[in-house]
Homo-oligomer: A and B are copies of this chain.
Amino acid sequence: MPPGDRFVAETTFHVRYAETDAMGIVHHTAYIVYFEEGRSHLGRVLGAPYAALEENGYSLAVSEVTARYIAPARYDQRIGILTWVEDLRSRGVVFGYEVVDAETRQLLVTGQTKHICVDRHGQVRRLPGEWANKMRRALRL
């Protein structure tokens, strides 16, 4: 469950056929792509798009991914990706996620990704102030 005091963005879409596997369900790596799309959506909603960060020469390198699989999604299912900021530091950020069925709200997958801010040479850097300020607003409602 997202912490009660956080801003939570939700984006919804249909599962694509290419995301399924021979078990007839969504492949476990697809949810980690959904997480990524979830944080892209959160950034857009907060006016802190990741694309702008990259244009300014910064990247949020992924340092850790965790995912727990509770129930499988299937082709064509409409799912919601809930994304929030778990933690924000000077040089990094942690995002939390839940993947749910968009209608029934059944919980399918939970997860977390940790990121470090790096420049174009891969050097660790402080998060740009403007971007960090917009993200910070998502920490307290």
In the complex, the answer to whether A50 meets B17 with C-beta atoms within 8 Å is: yes
Number of residues of chain A lying within 8 A (CB) of chain B: 40
A14 to B78, CA, bound (A): 16
* A29 at interface by CB-CB < 8 Å: yes
Whether the Cβ atoms of B29 and A18 lie closer than 8 Å is yes
Q: Mark A27-65, 1 if CB is under 8 A from B, else 0.
A: 111001100110011001000011100100001011111
Interface: A107 (CB within 8 A): no
The 8 A-B pairs at the shortest CB distance, nearest first, are namely: A20-B22, A51-B76, A28-B62, A18-B33, A22-B24, A29-B29, A65-B67, A29-B32
A interface vs B, CB < 8 Å? 13-14, 16-18, 20-25, 27-29, 32-33, 36-37, 40-41, 44, 49-51, 54, 59, 61-69, 72, 74-76, 122
